[in-house]
Structure 1
Amino acid sequence: MGQQSILRAASLITMNPAQPRAEALAMDMDSGAIVAVGSLAQCQAAALHAPVQDLGPGVLMPGFIQAHDHPVPAAVLCEQPAQWIAPFMGFPTWHDVEALFDQLRRRTPAGQPLLFNGLDRLLLSIPMPDRASLDRYFPDHPVLILDITGHAVYFNSRATGLFGWMHAVPPKDTPDARWTRRPDGTAGGVGFETQATMMTLGAFLPGVVQSPLLNLGAWYSTLARNGFTAAGDLGFVTKLRAPMEHLAALPDCPVRYALYQATYDDDAHASLDFGELSGMISRVGYKIWMDGSPSIGTAAISVPYLDSARARIADVPVGTVPGSSVLNYTPDEFLTLIGQFADKDVQIATHIDGDVGIEVVLDGYERALQRHGLSVTDHRWRVEHFATPSREQCVRAGALGISASMSPFQALYWGDLYDGVVFEPEYGARWQPYRDAYDGGVRPTFHNDGYLSPPLPWLNIQNAVTRRSASGTVHGPEQSLTLDEALQAHTINAAWQQKRDHEIGSIAVGKLADLALLNTDPYTVDPAQLQDTMQFEGTWLSGRRVDLGRFMQSVKAIAHRHDGALIRGAQPHQC
């Protein structure tokens, strides 16, 4: 054992039920492991002559874990020069968005591409943009707008030239890329699902983002400033390996990444061993997209969209029950796809929002686990978002050993609309049923889904405990969690979900000293005021305090070598 160090704080919230609170911890600085937790005297006895750093009134916790992220899209869409136009990012009305359009049209040279992220048709009460409407706003600039859901893109005529489409004719539809078309077969200006997003984004990046790697370093820094020391990348493709691996190798890298590779990646079956860097970056499993989003009518739900003025103007398919018609794969296709990747050491993670789709996914998981002899193993397969499960589906998922990563931002930003405006209250008020998931044994985690919402863990926790939407309205209070349970979702549950609970997620002897320093004790704060009160004052990775300034300097030194790979990584990967 090498050099040791002791951290003392007003309190340590360990997330370890065997020792919930402590005063100090001792660390081995060579391995980054915790060697003692308890009183200051106990830590000094375990680490003789170790220096003590007193953190004063601060409170230490294990570093938070972003269970489901998309770091590369977030880096290029949530950092300048891309424009993040979500209502909760300073654009609450369509008039605000139009004012930005006008400003950019006047100051941007003709022909220069413009990229926008986060258009929310439902909250803004606007029709679906298309090629014709965007041509009126931007006759001289290629324009691409990503829908807030991440499941649709909107573009103008000049953009089709960047895509390389002959006479503006889009490619054939696939399960992961569908296009609207005019009667003459040319593009209507809307694309749906993951491949459509990646193809269009890949075409725009070279002309918009000067240094994607610097943007990625900025995103890592954003996560760290919000208390995160680890995250899951739910959409990794092999072309991103070199830049992601080099970031992980930087001595000041602030975030560990567990990678879930997209099943449509050309090299999805290739070996992906990160060797000595496996503590910082590792492949955990594979990701499948099974349905879309409720906000654009592509979630596989069992109830009709209500016929409301708000829903009509946003082109939500009122009166329809999407059911299984919007699934990207039939049950048999889904089972076959799982079978191509299922293994005892591999997790399967599936994006699924609607209850009809959840039933199909649970059926497919159960059949696949049985077929591959994994039913009684510690597989921890995942469902992503899990927005509308019934209580029975939660119990079934728990019994199958399925874990859920849930999306508080859905209930927070759209809860007022889902409850009574878009769906009947009995269905919409339950959106993100935390209590049913927790009681069903799925060990829920929380996430912000990369570029869909800002990575604000205290806002996630606040919503889970209070069930208050952004307007302050309470929806489905019976689905609330305790503060203990909500904190677990961003710490030990998330570590468990990634099969890293032996390393991170709680403060315990033998685990890595991945820590977050809080300005005050969250248990002394009104749960409705957590976001306004709680602040992160620093993070530690393997016992070393993160220096984001030094990290960004090291990113700048290697950016020129990897920007091209990041751009190519956003190019399409045909099925």
Structure 2
Amino acid sequence: MKKLTKASLLMLGVFNIPFLYAEPATKQTEQVLYSGGKIITMEGQKPQYVDAVLVENDKITQVGKLNDVKKHLHGKVSMVDLKGKTMMPGFIEPHLHPSIAALMLPNDTVAPHAWNKPNGVTKAAKTPEAFIEGIKDSIAKASPGQMHFIWGYHQLWHGELNRDVLNKLASDKPVGIIHRSFHEIFINDAAIKLFKIKEDDFTGNKQVNWQKGHFYEGGWLALVPKIAPYLLNPESYSEGLNLMSQLMLKNGITTVSEPGFPSSDFNMEYSLLKKEMDTNPPYDVLLIPNGTQLYTMAGGSNEKAEVAMSKLPEKYNTHNITFAPKQVKLFSDGAIYSLAMQMKAPYLSNKFKGEWMTPLDLFQEQLSFYWNKGYQIHVHANGDKGIQQVLDFNIKDQQALPREDHRFTLHHMGYFDADLAEQIKKLNIETSVNPYYLWALATKYSEVGLGKERAENLVQIKELSKRNIPVSFHSDFAMAPAEPLTLAWTAVNRVVAEGNALSQEQRIDVFTAMKAITLDAARTLNQEKFIGSIKVGKTANFTILEEDPFNIEPIKLKDIKVNAVVYKGRWVNNTL
């Protein structure tokens, strides 16, 4: 990838990137009546079926029995026969990163598990030998002098990696190996030279190992702004965003939220995202400002960061990109895929240790600042010690300033127990979890890192749901595939990659799981008044499935095919 200046980014229009949706559909002006299939509203405490739904423009106007709904027909009416298919509220992805999708999808993937991309399936690399072979093949295709990124490395499958290894594999080609967690990167000498960085640039940063070419957690966050022109190459980045749009349609997602925008460069990321969204793909993007990144951009001032984020909706909102008002994302402990989450009990090996993504004094300052400003706070927290620290800080804030319906939300929650769930309940905190951690990591982490008891009890969703704590599911793409049905399947079955079932007492019912990708996912974003269920007055966003998830064996849940989506009243077939 060639280096791009900000000036060159202003010329984005010169790139002729193929898009999936060239023109928006003509705005619907007549009524549309949906019937002839199973229509599940996701209202109430169990599956509720109705005969028909009436839509006018982009809003639901009637829901109920067919004859009753027909009484409200007038003027020009289009009839949609579902032909026995199942219609549900449009699936919602409450935590997905377009910036990660844009980097991961068009570039090579060499990861422990296979990945389904719109442009093909990448095979799993489960051993050090398979990993080295995979990156050799990838590097061979790279152009000399142009930055080449490969995503998917994990030390427990792939062994030790460092700058010397990369120098031997690619002496003349700048290469960056992005960790499976997306919280770390390894770079070689050629990349260091291309980036024009030096060791002194990171003096005092304990999360940089210069000799190994290893940047992790705070070191990775410090590196990203310096290499943004290479990460955000418009040609490949735009291709990645287009591939993301194809994934959204394939998996029935009609709303995406990016909690933590921007990741590195606001203007670059927003311009490229808007370019993709201007093609009118059938989903909306809700952006939640990254309080930590904006703090840095504002010269180390929470006050200036908050003023800046308060102006974002007026300046940057479009018909399909919205900055969430009075919501902010903050960061507690490190990545679960890096075994850098903060754990109360020690890791099995001293090779791993917990990291804080934000220094604790600054983290507490930010939590209190945004709490006192009345924000809905979203916090990245993975380990039980990391979660406990968030709760301990919030207890003090709630004592100093009690707030009703504050919607404080913990995201990810890799490992927690009943005691933490009880504390979360008492604080009226809400949750958005990634069930896929169990599928991908439980077996390996039983052997290395956590041990059998903790690893087999990752993401204990039942501890949340039985306490009536609101819980949604997210992929944190690409920490899990952007497949809501796969997330629900994992939570319902608790079956892991190797095929065995674990901690079956933590299984949840199908309705709770489906609610976690519809109505409760909307709640996480404070959008349940507008999306998440089929109800009069809500936006006409639907997902059309080939089968009813409540009338099949739970083990088949992830195999249900998405037939189409309806986005703001516009029907779009899934052709993938």
TM-score range, shorter chain: 0.7 to 0.9
CA RMSD of superposed structures (Å):
2.5
Q: Give the partner amino acid of 2:434.
A: S
Change (3 A) 1:201 1:38: farther
TM superposition shift of 1:11:
0.3
SS at match of 1:487: helix
Aligned partner of 1:357 in structure 2 is 386
State whether residues 395 and 441 of structure 1, in contact with CA within 8 Å, keep that contact through their aligned partners in structure 2: no
Deviation, 1:92, is 2.7
Structure 1 residues 82 and 535: alpha-carbon distance in aligned structure 2, compared to 1, 3 A threshold: same
| TM-superposition CA deviations, 1:85-135 (whole Å, max 9, x none) | 45222123333332233333434332232111121222x2412x1111111
Please give the residue correspondences for 1:171-570 in structure 2 after superposition, counting only pairs within 5 Å: 171-174=202-205, 178-182=207-211, 188-193=212-217, 194-196=220-222, 198-199=224-225, 202-205=228-231, 210-237=235-262, 238-239=266-267, 240-245=269-274, 247-248=276-277, 250=279, 252-263=280-291, 264-265=293-294, 266=297, 268-269=305-306, 270=308, 271-274=311-314, 277=318, 280-284=321-325, 285-306=327-348, 317=350, 322=353, 326-329=355-358, 331-342=360-371, 346-371=375-400, 373=401, 375-419=402-446, 421-531=448-558, 533-546=559-572
Whether the aligned pair in 1 keeps the contact of 2:519 and 2:528 (CA below 8 Å) is yes
Once residues 54 and 519 of structure 2 are traced to their aligned partners in structure 1, the CA distance between those partners, rounded to angstroms, is 20
1:151 pairs, out of 183, 189, 198, with 183
Question: Among the aligned pairs, what percent are the same residue?
Answer: 22
- Distance, in Å, in 2 between the alignment partners of 1:294 and 1:502 is 33
Map Cα deviations across residues 32-74 of structure 1 (whole Å, 9 max, x no partner): 1101112222221122352211020210000111111111221
Aligned to 1:113: 147
Give the superposition deviation at 1:212.
2.1
Structure 1 residue 392: deviation in Å? 1.8
- Say whether the 8 Å CA contact 1:83–1:115 is kept in structure 2: no
Alignment partner of 2:68: what SS? helix
TM-score, length-normalised on structure 2?
A: 0.84
Give TM-score, length-normalised by structure 1: 0.84
- Structure 1 residue ranges, 4+ long, deviating more than 4 angstroms after superposition: 245-250
Which one is further off, 212-221 or 229-238?
Answer: 212-221
Instruction: Give, as a single letter, the amino acid of the residue that structure 2 aligns with 1:161.
Output: K
> In the alignment, is the contact (CA less than 8 A) between 2:440 and 2:497 conserved in 1?
yes
Structure 2 unpaired stretches of 5+: 1-27, 116-122, 299-304
Provide the secondary structure at the position in 2 that maps to 1:384.
Answer: strand
Structure 1, unpaired ranges of 5+: 183-187, 308-316, 550-575
**1:178 to 1:421, Cα distance in 2 relative to 1, 3 A:** closer
Residue 489 of structure 1 deviates from its aligned partner by 0.7
Change (3 A) 1:244 1:283: farther
Instruction: State the shift of 1:280 in Å.
Output: 4.2
SS of alignment partner, residue 106 of structure 1: helix
For 2:51, the equivalent position in structure 1 comes to: 23
CA contact (8 A) 1:248 1:281 kept: no
After superposing the two structures, state which structure 1 stretch, 453-462 or 500-509, moved more: 453-462
Alpha-carbon distance in structure 1 between the residues aligned to 2:152 and 2:234 = 17
Give SS of 1:546's match.
strand
> What is the CA–CA distance in structure 2 between the aligned matches of 1:432 and 1:136, rounded to whole Å?
40
Contact 1:85 1:116 in 2 (8 A): no
**Larger deviation, residues 153-162 vs 216-225:** 216-225
8 A Cα contact 2:491 2:513, kept in partner: yes
Q: Is the 8 A contact 2:562 2:574 kept in 1?
A: no
Cα distance, 1:466 vs structure 2: 0.8
Distance in 2 (CA, whole Å) between partners of 1:162 and 1:70 is: 26
Change (3 A) 1:9 1:172: farther
1:132 to 157, 164, 167: 164
CA distance in 1, matches of 2:111, 2:422: 38
Partners of 2:313 and 2:322 within 8 A in 1: no
Report the number of matched residues. Answer: 518
CA displacement 1:273-303 (0-9 Å, x = unmatched): 2477376422242212211124433110012
1: distance between equivalents of 2:544 and 2:38?
A: 10
Aligned mates of 1:6, 1:382 — CA distance in 2: 37
Alpha-carbon distance change, 504 to 341 in structure 1, aligned in 2, over 3 angstroms:
same
Task: Supply the distance in 2 between the matched residues of 1:370 and 1:541 (Cα, whole angstroms).
Answer: 43
| Alpha-carbon offset, residue 169 of structure 1 | 5.0
Aligned with 2:423: secondary structure?
helix
- Tell whether the 8 Å contact from 1:388 to 1:432 is kept in structure 2 after alignment: yes
3-state SS of paired residue (2:385): helix
1:206-255, Cα deviation, whole Å (9 max, x unpaired): 6x6624234213212212221111121022123233444454455x3322
